[in-house]
Amino acid sequence: MNDNSTDPSLAEDAEKIVLKLRSAGFQALFAGGCVRDMIMGRAPKDIDIVTNAPPDKVQELFPRSVAVGKAFGVVRVGAGSVYYDVATFRTDGIYRDGRRPQSVAFADEKTDAQRRDFTINAIFYDPLEKKFHDYAGGREDILKKTIRTVGNADDRFKEDHLRMLRAVRFASTLSFSIDQQTFAAIRRNAPLIGKVSAERIQQELARILLESEKVGDAFEMLSSLGLLKEILPEVEKMRGQEQPPQFHPEGDVWTHTILMLNAMQKPSRLATRSAWLAYAVLLHDVGKPDTAVQAADRIRFNRHAVHGAHMAEKILRRLRLPSADIKAISFIVGNHMRFMDVRRMRKSTLRRLVTAKTFADELELHRLDCEASHGDLQNYIFLKDFKAAFESEPVLPPPLITGHDVVALGIGRGPLVGKLKKAAYDAQLEGKFRERSDALEWLKKAVSTNIDKNS
């Protein structure tokens, strides 16, 4: 169902669906994450409904409905401005692909609760009688802040392997711990995660990165469970990679990255953090283990940012991220070391830097990088001040000189036209002229100089 966390009519419209099903002689209850959120005092982002009415009857009762998963008993019902998932109580058949059952059979509410993943997601709520129906001990686990499977943990993870990642996601986004037996079962079954599609893994990873209270702790958990080496072996490889203590007193590359992930701004219920930033923090030093060399003075990581950008691109393509996101994140990873030189950059270069679409995330990555290592924020402050100085005027004004102006002065079409055009724009950004007439005079001198050099 759509994200309707700010819609005050969300529960009211859901209750109307429940009331209509009840009036027709069927059971109907709220189910899943919305009930968990209600118990925790959190505003639900969506509300799912379960019933003993068969899908055909649900569609008959609600003209504004679509059967989105009829084989699994799911009908999407329109009420107000949104659609709600209405699912028939069911029990699942055999899972053969580690993803979904081969068949389902309609059942009662208690049986339906027993086929769910975790106890905290197996609670039903009657919005008309204001009563909870808890057959798996989910309310107690919410009070204990514990993630525990419904029934045998090995069975749950063998049915749907992605549940192992979901356990980490729930633990990290809710600030819960994972039950010991559930934890042990994940470690036993961790290699099965490799059978899950890249798209499904990426969806869970993204939510861990964007919604967790402390992302670094979540990745420590992924590593200790044996899941990280299966899905992101390149990240696992950062553990134990030493760094020069004069620049990284905090420890190895893994420790440095975990500190940065934990220091990212916490998400709110209405907004997540930047995906570009989160992935860039995770992968910014992924190239270090491959480029590490013991030089005479210290450990060095020659061109690790460039190598890391290539690695990031491969990793993100493997995870099936959109091309635009892959391009942006790889760019941030590949360029994060250039912030060391900002106080020596030409003004024109700085202007291009601070007006890039990726700049806000690049700057925040730099801040996190510094605070998780040497603590020197001089370059960060310099860039913030530089950008602030231009907020009252266009940071990148339109060029006063065009390629036609260069050609009009007798320069034949070719590479020199582009070179002179770029030089003119750099001079403009550096404040050497502000009027077009002055720009043309500058250009005449530049053309003359180039002709003299080549004569």
CATH class of 1-137: alpha beta
Q: Where are the domains of the chain?
A: 1-137, 145-237, 299-389, 403-454
**Percentage with pLDDT > 70 across the chain:** 92
Confidence of residue 5 (pLDDT cuts 50, 70, 90): very low
Confidence of residue 4 (pLDDT cuts 50, 70, 90): very low
SS3 77: strand
Q: Quick check: 132 and 139 in contact, CB under 8 A?
A: yes
Bridge-based pairing state of the strands 48-51 and 28-31: antiparallel
pLDDT digit string, tens, across residues 64-112: 999 887 677 899 999 888 899 999 998 876 666 666 666 567 789 999 9
**What's the pLDDT score for residue 101?**
60
Domain 145-237 class? Answer: mainly alpha
pLDDT given at position 100: 67
In this predicted structure, what is the pLDDT of residue 99? 67
164: closest CA among 104, 99, 101?
Answer: 99
- pLDDT category at 153 given cuts 50, 70, 90 is very high
Task: Answer yes or no: is pLDDT of 448 > 70.
Answer: yes
Of 219, 225, 253, 229, the residue nearest 239 (C-alpha):
253
- Prediction pTM value: 0.83
Distance, CA of 308 to CA of 291 (rounded, Å):
9
pLDDT, tens only, 160-191: 999 999 999 999 999 999 999 999 999 999 99
Establish whether domains 1-137 and 145-237 are of one fold.
no
Q: pLDDT per residue over 426-440, tens digit each?
A: 898 888 888 999 989
CA distance 288 to 441: 49
C-beta neighbour count of 328 within 10 angstroms? 21
| Average pLDDT of span 51-61 | 93
Mean pLDDT of the chain: 90
Tell me, what's the pLDDT at 451? Answer: 60
Q: Rounded to whole angstroms, how far apart are CA atoms 50 and 48? A: 7
pLDDT at 418 over 80: yes
Q: What tokens does 371 get?
A: 């605070």
**Distance between CA 441 and CA 69 in Å, rounded?**
70
392 with 374: CB under 8 angstroms?
A: no
Determine contact, residues 56/144, Cβ cutoff 8 Å. no
Predicted pLDDT of residue 417: 86
Would you say the C-alpha torsion 212, 217, 218, 219 has a positive or negative sign?
A: positive
CA 4-8-12 angle, 5° bins: 95
